Chains A and B, each alone.
Chain A
Amino acid sequence: MTAVLQHPGYEEERLQRVTEQLPCREPQARMLLSLMGQPRQYSYPSMFIYGHRASGKSHVMYVLLKELELPHATVSCVECVSVALLFEQVLLSFFGRDAASLLPRCPYLSDFVRIYRQHSSQCPAKQTRYIVMEKAELLRDTDANLLPALLRLQELVEDNVTVILLSEIVWDQFRPNTGCFEPLLLHFPDYSKGELQQILSQDRHPSYSAEFYSSYINILLGVFYSVCRDLRELRHLCSLAFSLMLCLMSSVKETDTHKLWRNIEPHLKKAMQTVYLREVSSLQWEQLQQMEENECGAMRGLSAHTHVELPYYSKFLLIAAYLASYNPARTDKRFFLKHHGKIRKTNFLKKNEKTSNHLLGPKPFPLDRLLAIFYSVVDSRVAPTASIFSQISSLVTLQLLTRVSHDDQLDAPKYKCAVSMDFICAISRTVNFEIVKYLYDFL
């Protein structure tokens, strides 16, 4: 189906092996090969390859460089927290340990280039050397000179070296202010549905027929394709749900696709809410399926554990903070004063307050307002002791409140409430407080 890659300068059988390992990435591999040229020719100084997650960027580079046995250094920018690590890794894979040990403790780019030049003049490149940088978007956060220098490394070290940057983000977001050497841009397109199916059906269970497995994948893609196109995620789900499928299989024949679909589809939909969001770990999910009678998803996932035990006054403080965050200050009088008179909602609608506050998010409020609301929602008389104030600050450390004003501002600090509606409803139920009656949005 796919034509074997051909390029002068490389052995046929190696290219054959490369082709086998790169399903659906053959045009990209051919493009790369023609840009790389023969091993001893100079290649373009830098290339920038972008594409979605799991579109085979690193895989294609890895297979090409490994199978064709080209000298290369693969560097992940996540691991290289300092440039020293980066330089060391490159020198290590090109010139061995002695070169890497020559680097001073905190090397400059200039040291790296000097050592590289020294060694490359001793053993000049017979083949193009490749430096592959994965997750190149992190290079932008390091030293401002690093990215422009890497892009023209071929010129700086005067050696046959090519830098290949892999990233998920487009090149426009990389370009420095004063410009730089423009790399060749290559795009790895996303896999289409047919290609995904083809790749996913490669790792089928040998004891089942190919048609059966591909119809299973078809069902799986039907559920997940509109949400997720990440090959790795789909593959993970695929292998997980297959065991579940086998449990259900006992009553159904292999060829009866319709029945199969009816049986497995609801389970897959549930998997989207549990496994896909990592609410339930994949191990737990497998265990659930062992216990047949237990409906999967009945187990409480991570996000169901939102209930937090708080002291009595902390609960009221949090409720007061929520009310202060989501109600406009002008309505406080109406909610919390005894003889407020009748004010209709429409009377104090302002032009920019038409949208609900639960859409815009919490607003900051001063400490005084929090305390005033607190005293009016708590039934008993509470003294403003140190314990009340320390409870406020411990709510901040628990990240249930956030402090908006600067840390050094001791008088009249401002806060925001950072809990969700469900959470505060659960809290107010435990203290028999009907919070919905006090919320302006739900009037």
Chain B
Amino acid sequence: MNKRKAQDARQPLGENVTKVWMSPTRDPSSPRAHLLELLRRTAVHGESNSLLIVGPRRAGKTTLLRCVLRDLLEDREARKNLLQVHLNGLLQTNDSVALKEITRQLRLENAVGDKVFGSFAENLAFLLEALKKGDRSSSRPVLFVLDEFDLFAHHKNQTLLYNLFDVSQSAQTPVAVVGLTCRLDVLELLEKRVKSRFSHRQIHLLSSPTFPQYLERVRAQLSLPDTFPDVQFAEDWNAGVKVSRGSLTGRSGEDSGRVSVSKPAIRPADVLEASRLCFADAKANMLHGLSVLELCLVIAMKHLNDVYEGEPFNLQMVHNEFKKFLQRKSSSIYNFEPPVVMKAFEHLQQLELIRPLDSSAAKTQREYQLMRLMLDHSQIMEALQKYPHCPTDIKQWAASAFG
């Protein structure tokens, strides 16, 4: 039974999340009820609507829509009536691709065996004709879902959006256009004529839970549902969850990844471990793996940045600064040839810890190309503390104010 539990804990999320944080359907002010009512009016009564769901990433826009659609399709009449077209701004990168996709999803007559004939103009004309022919009473309503709506606004002339909104405004086939986007300024992206045809109905999903609410969500997210077959284990598990707390989605995925047959419960230590992995500074991790020579160059760049107040530098200056350090120090273990230093410098550039100021690489000699350091002061000092077997004189050099 343990095994089955471990599998269950990794099931995709979604269900639980919506159950907790979307207020019930009966409350008319909740976004879920609002959206459901709107879509039902399209599906059953043949009204044309347009709507935008706006919210930050991972706010549950798609989940909300999916839940509402599931609720809507429980209605027999709506299920019989409604045609759905799902488009994604990431996939349908221009209008002709989007149009082909629409034709395909609507299974129109001239789309034979998934092959669409005709040019873009013909296609659009055909589609508009098909949509125009319909009227409120006889034709089936179409629901257009535009995921990543802001990307559709970057299409040329916004032809697709214009036509969709135009159909929704005029007395033709009933359509509902639902856009999902994470940009708050999405209306500014629309052209004037497109904007005027849009109904300006928006649902904002700006959830900012208080900390107790957040804890409640985490608990619900990690708990096993009542339908779980082994009741005893589910109780034990849910009791265990009440003790430990983690973050939603990303981290809870990592958490339950650690649960195995030998360790059937989440412990606070696991959550700490997961959070340590999540919050590790990636650049510090990369600095940890540099060789001593590369680290010296980074410190020299830091000094140059301090002295010249963020002016860009080239390899010659960095090497000069490094040589100044070597002169002050009597021993010469770090006395490397210039080509070796150049190789280290190029490695830093490859890791994008330094960046060329302009991209005209072919025009200037390599040692005179101007660069900028992509690290800040504290990151370097912190990495230096963690660096394994860092020579003391290098540490002192890094700490000293003037090279």
Seen from chain A, the residues whose Cβ lies within 8 Å of a Cβ on chain B are 6-8, 34-35, 37-38, 41-42, 44, 50-52, 55, 108-110, 113-114, 143, 145, 148-149, 152, 155-156, 168-173, 178-182, 184-187, 189-190, 192-193, 225-229, 272-273, 276-277, 279, 303, 355, 358-362, 402, 404, 416, 418, 420
Contact = CB atoms under 8 A, between A and B. Distances in A.
Contact of B340 (A145, A155, A227, A420): A227
A120 to B, nearest CB: 16
Given A226-B291, A227-B344, A185 B282 contact: yes
A419 B254 CA distance: 55
Given A179-B182, A187-B285, A227-B293, A169 B351 contact: yes
Interface of B: 3, 6-7, 10-12, 57, 62, 88-93, 97, 101, 104, 114, 150-151, 182-183, 250, 253-254, 257-258, 260-261, 277-278, 280, 282-283, 285-286, 288-293, 314, 316-317, 320, 333-334, 336-337, 339-340, 343-344, 350-352, 363-365, 367-368, 388-389
30 contacts: A34-B260, A35-B257, A37-B257, A44-B253, A50-B285, A51-B289, A52-B351, A108-B91, A108-B93, A109-B90, A114-B104, A170-B282, A170-B283, A170-B286, A171-B282, A172-B282, A172-B283, A179-B57, A184-B254, A185-B277, A189-B285, A226-B334, A227-B292, A273-B340, A277-B340, A279-B339, A362-B365, A362-B368, A416-B363, A420-B365
Interface SS majority for chain A: loop
Given A42-B10, A277-B339, A361 B364 contact: yes
Contacts of A420: 365
Nearest to B7: A41
Given A172-B283, A187-B280, A359 B91 contact: no
B246 to A, nearest CB: 14
B93 A145 contact: yes
Contacts of A7: 260
Nearest to A51: B289
Contact of B291 (A38, A143, A227, A404): A227
B302 to A, nearest CB: 18
Given A110-B97, A178-B182, A226-B334, A190 B288 contact: yes
Contact of A168 (B182, B316, B351): B351
B363 A402 contact: yes
A145 B286 CA distance: 27
B363 A110 contact: no
Nearest to A420: B365
A121 B57 CA distance: 29
Contacts of A108: 91, 93, 97
A173 B88 CA distance: 25
Contacts of A149: 90-91
Contacts of A227: 291-293, 336, 340, 344
Highest count of chain A CB atoms <10 Å: which of B12, B62, B291: B291
A109 B91 contact: yes
Contacts of B280: 187
A187 B280 CA distance: 9
B363 to A, nearest CB: 5
Contacts of A180: 57
A140 to B, nearest CB: 11
A156 B250 contact: no
Q: What 3 pairs between A and B have smallest CB-CB spacing? A: A361-B368, A190-B289, A170-B282
B363 A404 contact: yes
B258 A277 contact: no
Nearest to A168: B351
A298 B312 CA distance: 38
Contacts of B316: 358-361
A42 B352 contact: no
B340 A272 contact: yes
Contacts of B12: 42
Highest count of chain A CB atoms <10 Å: which of B62, B257, B288, B316: B257
Nearest to A110: B91
B90 A41 contact: no
Contacts of B343: 276-277
Contacts of A114: 104, 114
A407 to B, nearest CB: 12
B257 A228 contact: no
A173 B352 contact: yes
Contacts of B314: 359-361
Given A178-B150, A178-B183, A35 B254 contact: yes
A227 B294 CA distance: 8
Contacts of A145: 89-91, 93, 151
A79 B278 CA distance: 32
A359 B291 contact: no
Contacts of B368: 360-362
Contacts of A182: 57, 250
Given A155-B62, A192-B388, A360-B368, 6 more contacts: A8-B260, A42-B10, A170-B286, A190-B288, A227-B336, A418-B365
B291 A418 contact: no
A152 B91 CA distance: 11
B120 to A, nearest CB: 14
A384 B278 CA distance: 69
A282 to B, nearest CB: 16
A169 B90 contact: no
B91 to A, nearest CB: 4
A210 to B, nearest CB: 25
A77 to B, nearest CB: 15
Given A34-B258, A108-B91, A52 B286 contact: yes
A425 to B, nearest CB: 16
Highest count of chain A CB atoms <10 Å: which of B10, B151, B290: B10
B17 to A, nearest CB: 15
Nearest to B2: A8
Contact of B7 (A38, A44, A109, A113): A38
A254 to B, nearest CB: 28
Contacts of A155: 62
